[in-house]
Amino acid sequence: MAGQKTTEDTSDEKSIYKFEVTDITGNPFSLAQFKGKKVMIVNTASKCGLTSQYEILQELYENYKDSGFEIIGFPANNFLRQEPGTDEKIASFCQKNYGVSFPMMSKISVKGKKQHELYKYLTSKDLNGIMDSKVKWNFQKYLIDESGTLVKVISPKTKPNDQEVIDWLESSN
């Protein structure tokens, strides 16, 4: 973020809006484009016992995308090397097997020494101002409110369309 910050954008310091990531085709992708929307951030893998959650994620996205909801998938190879493919292979797999149309990002590390800055933010109360967490496995979900603030962490084994998630999606801020 070049230049001086105004008082208007200081709220972005504790939000996801300050992050720019790389999408699965190699293009810059600013999370600020989701201001005013609820967002689910999920780390994904193509060779995991939970990979079928892609189907549920896609259904959830189709059902709620017109109501101010976004899903952002982040492929990661941090758990038993269950995402070994290139971005191109991952994109092809997601499209062919699950018809994924929600935004998918370039493969990142969600834990450890090479942890991506966004995941450092999501897992550190010092950075997000809300809570500490650990990425336990593939398909862990982070719920972000309309102001870009972390609201809740959803277990990898909890399905994306769990009633708790639906209740959050259908609630007004």
Check 48, 50, 56, 130 and give the catalytic one: 48
The rounded radius of gyration (Å) of the Cα atoms in the chain is 15
CB 26 within 8 A of CB 65: no
CB within 8 Å of 73: residues ≥ 6 apart: 42, 43, 44, 57, 94, 100, 102, 103, 104, 105
Concerning whether 48 is annotated as a catalytic residue, the answer is: yes
Mutual angle of helices 163-170 and 53-64, in 10-degree steps: 20
Contact 69, 37 (CB under 8 A): yes
Q: Please list the residues that pair with 39 across neighbouring strands.
A: 70, 144
Q: Do 106 and 20 meet the contact criterion of CB atoms below 8 Å apart?
A: no
Reduced to 3 states (helix: H, G, I; strand: E, B; else coil), residue 22 is strand
Q: Which residues are catalytic?
A: 48
